Chains A and B, each alone.
Chain A
Amino acid sequence: MPTEPIRILLADDDEDDRLFFKEAFDEIKINTKVSLVNDGVELMNYLLDKGNQLPHILFLDLNMPRKTGIDCLLEIKQLAFLKDIAIAIYSTSASDMDIEETFVQGANVYIKKPSDFNTLKKILEQVITINWQYQTSGLNRDNYLLSL
């Protein structure tokens, strides 16, 4: 019997990035269910809507209009029922300040958006196959920034 798909949610205001994301998962041969929201406000509405199943992994862009990724991260970490969602930061930049702050606020992994589609696929595949149990229990500053 087929296993339950991994529920994945991406919050990103950039249409192209959402497209790459979606296409990458289409090509990854793992059973996933990808949902997309367009910004932070939509993300929080989605999460708070009891009608939606909560994702296993949330990919969070930082630089979004209305409500930034950091704002969302802070809100999510304050809500007990959202605590179990693994959070992967998914950002264009990888400034030391952003990495530091998201790590402190409890994000699980930091992904810098690659400029090559194959690399993107590899990274996303790696993220969803991480043993999250391990990743969340041994919060480690050194391997927080994911690189290939």
Chain B
Amino acid sequence: MHVKPIFKSAFFLKSVFVLSIVMLLYISSISYNHTKALNESSDLLVHSYKVQFQLEHVLSMLKDAETGHRGYIITRDAVFLKPYKSVQDKIYTSYIRLKALTLHDQPQQANLDILLQLIYQRIDLISNTLKGILDKTITEKDIAENLLAGNDIMDKIRTQINKMEDLENSVFKEHQKKYEQEVVFSPISIFIFAVFSLLVFILSFIKINRDLVVLKKSNKELQITNESISQAEIIGEFFTTRQNMETRELIYSDNLFRLLGCEPYSFIPTPDNYLTFVHPDDRHIVIKNAEDAAIQGKTEQHFYRIIRKDGELRYFMSLGKFISDPKSKMYIGIVKDITDQHLNNVALEERNRELEQSIKELESFNRVASHDLQEPLRKIQTFISRISENDRANLSEKGQEYVSKIESSASKMRILIDDLLLFSRTNKAEKIFEKSDLNKLLENANLELAQDIEEKNAVIRSAELPVLNVIAFQIQQLFVNLIGNALKYSKPGVSPVINIDCEKLSAKNLPVFILDKRKEYYKISVSDNGIGFEQEYAEKIFILFNRLHQKSDYAGTGIGLSICKKIAENHNGYIIAEGEPGVGATFSVFLAR
């Protein structure tokens, strides 16, 4: 599961978030300053216009008064004096307004006072002129002089107003300049920051999106894992427990309910509630195990019985382990329903006991065969040997024949018992494998059969045989039986020729009946030119007591080849027979390298 990248991106997202907030704050503060400066300059502009307006107003009213009194001088018509009469109040009103507008502007206040002086001078001059005209105390020459003086003052007023207007303009311009310096940079930086923020946001969006995909995938995987675990629990008939060893909090998986034969969540899964399902005689096991785990940190496998809700008895096995990380220690446990396994084991044990019993019976049968059957037989034979030696002459011809028949039967029985004992010994004997030279074992076998070989005038040819890890005396017995068989079933009047061949078979050349294809095998075959047999009997001849021929034709107990088969099996090998009537037989033994 991909947990790490998500942790990393959590850190990344936090950083992006902090960065974004810082940038937003920065952009806001710039915007605020910008707007504030804009407001200030617009206020300043308005103020400057107001000042200019009042100044122009004053000038224009003064001009009206002057124009009026000039008209009066020329026409002596009082109509022209109308503006002059109201001008003083209006000018004073404007003065008050200007005074208020320039309240904190010391130079402008001074200028305003100078302007007011000049205006009063002008108005005084006009008043004097008009008074002189009314009183007729003024000459035309004086009027002309007064007009000239008035013009002078008027020029000064204009200059003063211009000066004031310039001053007002210069304040605004200076402010405007400062504002422009400040503000010109901000739109660009705001834009850059905005673009940058946008980029950061887009990047984080992409990143978050990606993480979401990974997270979804992880979630999906987690879901699948959880689902497969709970399915596995159902199939495997187990439930799990998790216990935090610090908090002692214990969590059971849901399959608990199923294994206890309860509806899911039909009770609260706690240790105490669980214990009520445990067989009363086994509760101490569960309690002790929990204590051992908690106190000594032991995690031993243990078994106990459960009584399901419906009363069915089940066998449970519990085991677990501790998982530690730096923060906590956790006990992970598995509790498995092993009832089937347990019952199988019980049945198996029962069958084992039965088998042991029957093996014991077989062994005692062997004892009977070896001792108790041999004993009377030996006596019969000995007594007959006494009769045939000492009293033969006293018997009738029939009697002598019967004695011979008894002798022959007894010796057949002797062979049968010996062969049976040999067969059971082959079954039972300790299987001591040792490296043995098969050539040597074959030689020993030939020595054992020397008398027969000589009697039958047989020729035995042998290929070079390998050294193998075998039970030596059994392989020797195998050779004795196979060669003995070949001698026994030779064609009357024909000298037996027996060939012993050896072939190494690699894995791919193995015959189909060899299931273990990993090993290499030696195929050792004994073939003869004897009477042979029909191929259909090839498997039957290995069965105990199975004989193909009349007892009178060929002596034999039908045990020899069974012993051979047993020996091959003891070596995890195989034996097969191939025959053709009148041509011969071949017995092949397959022994693993």
How far apart are the CA atoms of A116 and B387 in the complex, in Å? 11
Are B378 and A120 in contact, CB atoms less than 8 angstroms apart? no
Are A117 and B389 in contact, CB atoms less than 8 angstroms apart? yes
Contact of B385 among A14, A17, A92, A117 (CB under 8 A): A117
Contact of B382 among A63, A93, A95, A120 (CB under 8 A): A120
A16 within 8 A of B: yes
Are B389 and A118 in contact, CB atoms less than 8 angstroms apart? yes
Are A116 and B382 in contact, CB atoms less than 8 angstroms apart? yes
Are A117 and B382 in contact, CB atoms less than 8 angstroms apart? yes
Q: For chain A residues 1-36, which have a beta carbon within 8 Å of chain B?
A: 14, 16-17, 20, 23
A115 within 8 A of B: yes
Are A93 and B371 in contact, CB atoms less than 8 angstroms apart? yes
What is the number of contacts between chain A and chain B, taking CB atoms within 8 Å? 34
How far apart are the CA atoms of A116 and B389 in the complex, in Å? 11
Contact of B374 among A14, A17, A92, A116 (CB under 8 A): A92
Chain B residues closer than 8 Å to A56, beta-carbon distance: none
Closest chain-A Cβ to B409's Cβ sits at a distance in Å of: 13
Q: Mark B353-390, 1 if CB is under 8 A from A, else 0.
A: 00000000000000000110011011101100110010
Closest chain-A Cβ to B419's Cβ sits at a distance in Å of: 16
Closest chain-B Cβ to A69's Cβ sits at a distance in Å of: 14
For B407, give the chain A residue with the smallest CB separation: A116
Are A115 and B370 in contact, CB atoms less than 8 angstroms apart? no
Closest chain-A Cβ to B387's Cβ sits at a distance in Å of: 10
Q: For chain B residues 84-114, which have a beta carbon within 8 Å of chain A?
A: none
Are B370 and A117 in contact, CB atoms less than 8 angstroms apart? no
A67 within 8 A of B: no
Chain A residues closer than 8 Å to B386, beta-carbon distance: 23, 117
Closest chain-A Cβ to B389's Cβ sits at a distance in Å of: 7
Are B371 and A20 in contact, CB atoms less than 8 angstroms apart? no
For A116, give the chain B residue with the smallest CB separation: B385
Chain B residues closer than 8 Å to A23, beta-carbon distance: 386
Chain B residues closer than 8 Å to A17, beta-carbon distance: 379
For A118, give the chain B residue with the smallest CB separation: B385
Q: Mark B321-348, 1 if CB is under 8 A from A, else 0.
A: 0000000000000000000000000000
What is the interface of chain A, defined by CB distance below 8 A to chain B?
14, 16-17, 20, 23, 63, 92-93, 95, 113-118, 120
What is the interface of chain B, defined by CB distance below 8 A to chain A?
370-371, 374-375, 377-379, 381-382, 385-386, 389, 414
In the complex, 16 of the A-B residue pairs with CB atoms within 8 angstroms, ordered by the A residue number, are A14-B375, A16-B382, A63-B371, A92-B375, A92-B378, A93-B374, A95-B370, A113-B378, A115-B377, A115-B381, A115-B382, A116-B385, A117-B382, A117-B386, A118-B385, A118-B389
